Structure 1
Amino acid sequence: MKNLTTTGEFIYTYAYHQDEKDLCLLEMRSFFGEDTEEKVLKSNRKIEPSRSPFIKERIELLFEAPALADIVYQAANIDLGNATFKVIFPKLNGLAPADQVDYTEKRSIEWQVGFVIKGKADVHQPDVVFGLILFGGRWYFGHYLQTEAVWFKHQQKPREYSTALSTKVARALANIAVPDPAGVKAIDPCCGIGTVLVEALSMGIDIVGRDINPLVVEGSRENIEHFGLTGSVDLGAIADIKQQYDVAIIDMPYNLYTNATESEQQEILKDALPVTEKLLVVTIDPIDYMIDEAGFSITDRCLVKKGLFLREILVCERSKMLQEA
């Protein structure tokens, strides 16, 4: 294939329910250092779309231009040889009026661009898929990749309980904790039934689990094994952890298996301080004062809704005074 040098930039498209908006934006900020409500984001950071429960598609850019005619002109230089291809103009909601293109026009544009590409068009099983999008008044064209809803496959587990995080929320939480897994060691010291562990392990995140309840430790191990994953889950309190981790994820215990009192929650947070410098906390109660007393500072946050049930996700770092000490 000739003339397929990428620019090093990417277009990501998003989809989420209104109740998931805050969580999606927090995940965006973790991945890209910024967020947007336009459901389209341009970045030079390469993220596997299937990592996020909210990313729909990724276009790895080959070129961009202010006018469609410029895109058609540049597409004419693509020579795929004997390879087959397809051009997709994604369906997007929430775009600015100037960026909206109706269905009939999209199909026409796909044909215009596809007509000039040297290769054989195949709408069913193409060797190469190209994506085309109008965003911010500019046209973007490149390699198209659609997400796979991996988290959806994890919904049916051998062991579960009603107050556990949904797999969708758990996957986003793992991404917020570890946006770039390279060289990062993570721990979920109150892992419960292992919902976060399953999502993190399925994305190649180096994470271990722990819990004080032998029943849920057993259930967590069973869930991990059920999905063909490999991960360690130990029985024990967070206070007994000797190793250092780059990030810890704590979903505060509040279910029928482990119902922590306020003082026990405070102890969990204090015991996390020697273990990690970055901490993600999921809570149903206002605990800002506990975070501060434990020696952490909140750097970002969001609310997550599940019907009438509200959780808050707090992104925390060890307080600067303690870091400098």
Structure 2
Amino acid sequence: MHDALMAALRTVNDPELHRDLVSLGMIEAAELGGGVARVKVNLTTPACPLKGKIEGDVREALLKVPGVQDVVVTFGAMVRAPSQPALPGVKHVVLVGSGKGGVGKSSVAVNLAASLARDGAKVGLLDADVYGPSVAHMMGQGAARITANEERKMLPIEAHGVKFLSMANLSPAGQALVWRGPMLHSAIQQFLKDAAWGQLDYLIVDLPPGTGDVQLSLTQTVQVTGAVIVTTPQDVALIDAARAIDMFKKASVPVLGIVENMSYFVAPDTGHTYDLFGRGGSRKLGEQFPLLGEVPIDTDVRQDSDQGTPVVLAHPDRPAAAVLTQVARNLAGQISIRSLSSLPDQLTVV
């Protein structure tokens, strides 16, 4: 009967990877007892955006097997590393960038990290905006200081299930850093390679605005899985976002998707939607990049950031939080698609 169950599961494709669950090695167990088929599916990410569809497709396929009267599906998850992991213990490095400041890039990066961690992934967050670090404040750890272990490696600070490092936790509050390019490169090297990140599924990197030294240092230092571009709908923001995309293209960093932030506003008293900045403009960047989500303007995002708790955790039912959660899951799906190219054609299965 095990063979019959596995044969049925070979007809079920992962809706993003477009290969069947068995050849992808996603079936950990499949057994039948008392008319009930029990299956454990190991997803390629705990933040799988199409988990519900997979469960429905598995149930539908197994109910066609003679003797199966009911189906119980349970899930695990294992984020697969590419053929060349980014850093020891770190499977994927994802850059969050923008062509200009003021588009909410850091807010998006913090909420992506918090959402992925809440879904069960092991997540790190690096604040690479050396001149204007804000991650520590948004994570509620502005006063914390970075320490080192016995091996003299920096110990990331932990908050909301996320390990993070920020220059704000090394330098006195309000002190300006006047550094040249080589000093920036050295700082980025230390944050990446002289830190005890441990085992991470995703290391989210909040970049400074623009296309300068920090971006170049990162792409030259580690194997980057891809980049997320944050923009707002206005033409001037889109022009700058296009420059960021061109920079990543020249650095051979895939663009995993676009996040259109401050896309629209929903009036709390009437529920009416207002496109204050011309919603949907990010689609002009080209159909070749997935639109991960359109995040509405929401005062809770700002208030929660000021209070040190990402909105996806503080107010998960708010419209912006719901979209940011889906953005994180869509991003995880895009990373899984990228990882597929490094997988063998057939994996060991049960």
In the superposition, the TM-score normalised over structure 1's length comes to 0.40
- Structure having the higher strand fraction is 1
Q: Which has the larger radius of gyration?
A: 1
Which structure has more RCO (C-alpha within 8 Å, separation ≥ 6)? 2
In the superposition, the TM-score normalised over structure 2's length comes to 0.38
